[in-house]
Structure 1
Amino acid sequence: MRLIVKEHPKVIDPSELLRPEPEFAQKSISKFRDYTIDENDPLKEQVRYTYRLMHKNQTVDFVKKCHNNWLEFDHASMTVREALEKLNDLVDESDPDNDLPNIVHAFQTAERARVEFPEHDWLHLTGLIHDLGKIMAFYGEPQWAVVGDTFVVGCKWTENIVYRDESFNENPDGNNPKYNTKYGMYSPNTGLENLMMSWGHDEYMYRVLKHNNSALPEQALNIIRYHSFYPWHTSNDYEHLMKPEDDETKQWVLRFNRYDLYTKSSIIPDLDALWPYYQSLIDKYIPGIIEW
């Protein structure tokens, strides 16, 4: 389903680090990430419905099943460019800020990172591929298990998850004493890498890159793995589960989020002109045909 453009959103991210530069904010900062409820707004209702399904179905057992299914990497074999071109046909049903194909957003994000950090070519490529795990939607995975903000499964859902108050009512983990407490199945300060995240494109793309021996640095892999983990990186939830070294990952993710969130606009980059540069980065860091 293709989304229509929404008007008059008002909820903003609280971190000053996330504020966009004026030349890259094609709409007011106050108009990003609005998840207020308006039953008369079809886009808002589409977004809310996607999250309702996500929060109902994303249990520990469901995530384990997704690991068993997707981490065999036997769904497709293709180059990174071929995977990116598939995103021409995907519009994210959880995104209140964008109704363009994901490949456009990929180049918007990459180019913003390139302007700010011209010396970090790995960061440019990270921007280009950060949402590439969404190709799961073409191989049978519903969008509620592909897109949207992520959260930790196996412990109490935190207060800053989108639609937290209404959308988890039917999730059986909420009645399971192994999973419904502050720490749930985890130990204090276990560390970010030891948490089981709700299943989506972040975790999948991270695993794809590890499986295919990508040469991208660890910062890039962590950005991809946690860029949708808004309750943690923007609202500071889950600090009781973090280790001190996780703060460096958070700072990289926050920096990256300026390119990811605030470059969403109707201005479309010249993809044909940009391909040679980005193909050179693909050849450097993730060459050839890879397993998905």
Structure 2
Amino acid sequence: MRILQNTMNESPSLLDVSELVRPEQKLQGQEAFRDYSEENPLQQRVKKTYYEMHSNQTVDFVKSKHAKWLGFNHVECTIMEALDKLNDLVDESDPDLDLPNIVHAFQTAERIRADYPEDDWFQLVGLIHDLGKIMAFYDEPQWAVVGDTFPTGCMPQASIVYGMDSFGTNKDLKDPRYNTKLGMYSENCGLDNVLMSWGHDEYLYQVVKNHTKKVGTSIPEGGLYAIRFHSFYPWHTGGDYEYLINDHDKKMKEWVLRFQKYDLYTKSASIPDVEALKPYYQTLIDKYLPGLVAF
């Protein structure tokens, strides 16, 4: 691993993971996931993360993050080294589990592997989909790294976590360029023309595009859509923002939804044998994302 900027934060989360894992018996049905109720013991932390996100993610803020991160000049490391870093990260927006993100990465990949044994690229997408969270180790607050994403530059919609109250101090809501349903967009402009809130989805998508171009490999577009929009719950699950979607987005949504069930419903307190699984997944990394990757 080669650090390109001396801004590394060794402790993006100071939580004691061992005491905060939710009981496995609560994770048997789908109703146990995405629990944002006041009864959830993780609620205070999760709510704080989302309120900070919704208050601070503006058009100008997102543009500043594109300028900061899309130079890919913070660290060069292998995909496996980046995954190992996730051993030290607990996602502060996740109301379901307090386990290191590397556990979730292998849980997701293994379930996809069981159902799609021939689609090794889809398995790899499951493994790497949260790698953009590496930003949390380089002085990026978690509210600009984790959690559900949403379009900036237009009015937030009803299905966003915690609703409009959580956007109370967001300055774009007072800007006539952005505070209408369409805001700065045109009808059915397509997601490729939408400035999403900044987070690990968009970042990893850009990292992967940058690296595959360098090394001459490719990941199918359905996999890239799954990486880029798996946290866009207000669209793929909430049914909002359809007026921004074009026909191509509609086709690709199938892959986002296909991936989403593995991302969400593989969570449990059962921890896979990460070390035993690494050799297999290293073969996929070598095929699609070999060598040092610039983050």
> Structure 1 length as normaliser, TM-score?
0.91
Q: Distance in 2 between matches of 1:90 and 1:209?
A: 21
Asked if residue 264 in structure 1 is aligned to residue 267 in structure 2, the reply is: yes
Aligned to 1:52: 51
Question: Is the CA contact 1:5–1:43 (under 8 Å) kept in the aligned structure 2?
Answer: no
Displacement of 1:217: 1.5
Asked if residue 122 in structure 1 is aligned to residue 117 in structure 2, the reply is: no
Correspondence 1:29-178 to 2 at 5 A: 29-38=30-39, 42-178=41-177
Displacement of 1:6: 5.0
For 2:113, the aligned partner's letter is R
- CA deviation map 1:171-194 (0-9, x unaligned): 000000100101100010000111
SS at match of 1:72: coil
- CA deviation map 1:106-147 (0-9, x unaligned): 000000001111110000000000000000000010000000
Q: Distance in 2 between matches of 1:189 and 1:248?
A: 14
For 2:72, the aligned partner's letter is F
- CA deviation map 1:50-94 (0-9, x unaligned): 000000000000000000000010000000000000000000000
Q: Distance in 1 between matches of 2:258 and 2:210?
A: 26
Question: Is the CA contact 1:109–1:260 (under 8 Å) kept in the aligned structure 2?
Answer: yes
- Correspondent of 1:218 among 218, 221, 225: 221
For 2:266, the aligned partner's letter is T
Displacement of 1:98: 1.1
Displacement of 1:276: 1.1
Q: Distance in 2 between matches of 1:6 and 1:102?
A: 15
Displacement of 1:211: 1.1
Aligned to 1:27: 28
Q: Distance in 2 between matches of 1:201 and 1:90?
A: 13
- CA deviation map 1:152-174 (0-9, x unaligned): 00001011000013200000000
Question: Is the CA contact 2:133–2:145 (under 8 Å) kept in the aligned structure 1?
Answer: yes
Aligned to 1:15: none
- CA deviation map 1:216-240 (0-9, x unaligned): 1211111000000000000111111
> Structure 2 length as normaliser, TM-score?
0.90
For 1:184, the aligned partner's letter is G
Alpha carbon RMSD of aligned pairs, Å?
A: 1.7
Question: Is the CA contact 1:6–1:96 (under 8 Å) kept in the aligned structure 2?
Answer: no
Question: Is the CA contact 2:106–2:272 (under 8 Å) kept in the aligned structure 1?
Answer: yes
Question: Is the CA contact 2:21–2:99 (under 8 Å) kept in the aligned structure 1?
Answer: no
User: Which sections of structure 2, spanning at least 5 residues, go unmatched?
Assistant: 1-13
Mean CA deviation greater in 242-251 or 186-195: 242-251
Q: Distance in 1 between matches of 2:38 and 2:67?
A: 35
Q: Distance in 2 between matches of 1:120 and 1:232?
A: 26
Q: Distance in 2 between matches of 1:6 and 1:268?
A: 13
Q: How many residues in Structure 1 have an aligned counterpart in Structure 2? A: 275
Q: Distance in 2 between matches of 1:98 and 1:152?
A: 26
Q: Distance in 2 between matches of 1:191 and 1:184?
A: 14
Q: Distance in 1 between matches of 2:172 and 2:38?
A: 25
Mean CA deviation greater in 208-217 or 48-57: 208-217
For 2:47, the aligned partner's letter is R
Mean CA deviation greater in 119-128 or 207-216: 207-216
Q: Distance in 1 between matches of 2:35 and 2:41?
A: 14
Aligned to 2:6: none
Aligned to 1:198: 197
SS at match of 1:251: helix
Asked if residue 283 in structure 1 is aligned to residue 282 in structure 2, the reply is: no
Displacement of 1:27: 2.0
User: Which sections of structure 1, spanning at least 5 residues, go unmatched?
Assistant: 8-24
